[in-house]
Amino acid sequence: MDQLPVEVIGNILSHLRAARDVVIASATCRKWRQACCKHLHTLSFSSKDWPIYRDLTTTRLEILITQTIFQSSGLQALSILMEDVDGFSASTVTAWLLYTGNSQHCIICQDYANVTFLKYVAAQLK
């Protein structure tokens, strides 16, 4: 594994289903952390992947997601699927969408009004 190029490690990390697993893997060593920061293409957060998400306040969840997204400069696809969340703040969601640029986005909460707003914001950014 030590001989794998950092780009290949980033590609491997992009195929992990859960953002939690990506964060844990990136803590393995400096090379993996660099791969996560510069060569991670896909990141997915889901309340089904890690039940602890449900125990966090919406604000704490926003901070956790924001910190993870902002550490990954090469994102091309972002997926956030959260159940039992009151709704993310508009400014935070806009920051996520702007940071990931022309990437593919999927941000869904159970709250229908929030989903409608997100579809509108995503359309405005294109």
DSSP string, 88-110: --HHHHHHHHHHTTTSEEEEEES
Please give the C-alpha separations between residue 56 and each of 2, 61, 85, in angstroms, as whole numbers: 36, 6, 9
Q: pLDDT tens digits, residue range 15-66?
A: 998 999 999 999 989 999 999 999 998 888 888 888 888 788 889 999 999 9
CA distance 103 to 88: 19
The residue to which tokens 């964060």 are assigned:
23
pTM, full prediction: 0.77
Q: pLDDT tens digits, residue range 68-118?
A: 999 998 888 888 887 777 778 888 888 888 888 766 666 655 544 454 445
Task: Supply the mean pLDDT for the chain.
Answer: 80
Q: What is the pLDDT of residue 44?
A: 87
State the Rg of the chain over Cα.
Answer: 15
- Quote the percentage of the chain above a pLDDT of 70: 79
And the tokens for 31? 């090379």
Residue 29 DSSP code: -
Q: What is the pLDDT of residue 1?
A: 63
Q: What is the pLDDT of residue 10?
A: 92
